[in-house]
């Protein structure tokens, strides 16, 4: 029985090779195979002769054959129709210029991020990522930010529940990386962070940071300065004005911030915080703080892009205005 199915299929395929070129012959072709009295329909009479064991498989095969042949026939017909239409219909002007496809481009923040990554990769940093929703411990406690610290205040932090937060900085990943790996380590960590702050031209409820962390046996503040100076010169060119300003973070000691001169506004703009990793943080992750030392930094990607590309409002990154985005494609 299966042989009979196969021979109909073979014949159909052979006929398909010389598919007719006019509608009358096409109709004949159709009724020969797929019509009410066509070869496929007559194969269905085999069902009557099949044993009850054979019947289910035979039924399946018959239906499959019918679908297959119908599909192939229809494909051929539509190719025929398209070819015919073109030849006969001279209302189509083939000399008209085509439609230019619109080409997308990377968002300016994504471009800035990849510039930042490339600079740090060129001096030995690996790239890592970490969670945006994290527990209180990784975002705060492990970083030496005790429970009563103002940074934990509802003012700054979006809470998911009393002990889960949208991370307020990428520093949470410092802890994850050190928990997972033994020193020495050298990473940058790009990612989104969230803060419940007053929105203004340079602050938004979400923004991006790139965290850096380097832990080794001998690491000095001079190296931190050298590394960040190198980064800034690569990013903005040799003439840029920057300054280190002493600062305070619970997880670094000593700490500093880097400001860059904002030509547009004629004032300093803070772009990053940094410092030597506090021994208490190293102990929290089980590193021996007598042996291992390191530095860390966290920079604001939007602010860097604002300075580099003279963008005067952080909200422009997020409202998807094509007129803004197109300037950077």
| Nearest Cα to Cα of residue 236 among 272, 264, 252, 260 | 260
46 vs 143 by CB, closer to ligand PHE = 143
DSSP string spanning 28-48? HHHHHHHSTTSHHHHHTTHHH
User: Does residue 144 interact with ligand PHE by CB under 6 A?
Assistant: no
Binding mask 159-198 for ligand PHE (x = CB under 6 A): ----------x-x---------------------------
**How far does the chain reach from its first CA to its final CA, in angstroms?**
64
Which 3 state secondary structure label does DSSP give 157? coil
Establish if 130 lies at the interface with ligand PHE (CB under 6 A): no
Among 46, 296, 301, 305, binds ligand PHE (CB under 6 A): 296
Cβ-Cβ contacts under 8 Å for 141 (sequence gap 6 or more): 147
Residue ranges in 41-100 that form contacts with ligand PHE under rule CB under 6 A:
none
Q: Please, are residues 281 and 255 in contact by the beta-carbon 8 Å criterion?
A: no
Q: d(Cα 105, Cα 325) in Å, to the nearest integer?
A: 9
Tell the smallest beta-carbon distance from residue 141 to ligand PHE (Å): 14
Residue 33 or 194 with smaller CB distance to ligand PHE = 194
- Ranked by CB distance to ligand PHE, the top (closest) residue is 298
171 or 284: CB nearest ligand PHE: 171
Nearer to ligand PHE, 69 or 189 (CB): 189
Q: Give the shortest CB-169-to-ligand PHE separation in angstroms.
A: 3
Q: Smallest distance from the beta carbon of 211 to ligand PHE, in angstroms?
A: 6
**Residue of 130, 183, 190, 273 that binds ligand PHE (CB under 6 A):** 273
Q: How far is the CB of 309 from ligand PHE (least distance, A)?
A: 22
Which segment (64-72, 155-163, 233-241, 293-301) binds ligand PHE by CB under 6 A?
Answer: 293-301
List beta partners, residue 207.
193
Q: What are phi and psi of 256, to 5 degrees?
A: -150, 165
Cβ-proximal residues to 187 (8 Å cutoff; 6+ apart), any chain: 125, 126, 127, 128, 173, 177, 211, 212, 213, 214
- Does 298 contact ligand PHE by CB under 6 A? yes
Provide the H-helix boundaries in 22-170. Answer: 23-34, 39-43, 46-49, 54-88, 108-121, 136-139
Contacting residues toward ligand PHE, per CB under 6 A: 169, 171, 211, 249, 252, 273-275, 296-298
């Amino acid at each position: 029985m299966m042989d009979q199915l196969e021979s109909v299929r073979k014949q159909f395929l052979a006929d398909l090779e010389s598919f007719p070129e006019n509608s009358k012959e096409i109709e004949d072709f159709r009724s020969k195979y797929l019509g009410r009295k066509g070869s496929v329909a007559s194969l269905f009479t085999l069902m009557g002769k099949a044993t009850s064991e054979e019947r289910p498989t035979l039924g399946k095969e018959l239906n499959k054959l019918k679908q297959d042949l119908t599909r192939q026939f229809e494909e051929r017909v539509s190719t025929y129709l398209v070819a015919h239409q073109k030849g006969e219909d001279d209302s189509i002007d083939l000399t008209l210029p085509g439609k230019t496809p619109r080409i997308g481009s990377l968002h300016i923040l994504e471009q800035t991020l990849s510039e930042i990554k490339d600079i740090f990769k060129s001096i030995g940093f690996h790239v890592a990522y970490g969670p945006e929703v994290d527990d209180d411990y990784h975002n705060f406690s492990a970083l030496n930010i005790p429970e009563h610290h103002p940074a934990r205040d509802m003012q700054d932090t979006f809470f998911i529940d009393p002990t889960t937060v949208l991370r307020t900085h990428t520093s949470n990943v410092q802890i994850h990386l050190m928990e997972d790996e033994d020193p020495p380590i050298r990473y940058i960590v790009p990612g989104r962070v969230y803060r419940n702050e007053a929105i203004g031209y340079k602050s938004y409820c979400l923004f991006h940071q790139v965290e850096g962390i380097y832990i080794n046996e001998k690491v000095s503040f001079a190296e931190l300065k050298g590394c960040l100076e190198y980064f800034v010169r690569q990013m903005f060119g040799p003439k840029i004005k920057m300054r280190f300003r002493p600062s305070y973070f619970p997880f670094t000691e000593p700490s500093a911030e880097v400001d860059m001169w904002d030509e547009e506004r004629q004032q300093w703009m803070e772009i990053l915080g940094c410092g030597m990793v506090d021994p208490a943080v190293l102990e929290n992750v089980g590193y021996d703080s007598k042996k291992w030392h390191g530095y860390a930094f966290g920079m604001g990607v939007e602010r860097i892009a604002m300075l580099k590309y003279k963008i005067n409002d952080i909200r422009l990154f997020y409202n998807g205005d094509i007129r803004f985005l197109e300037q950077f494609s």
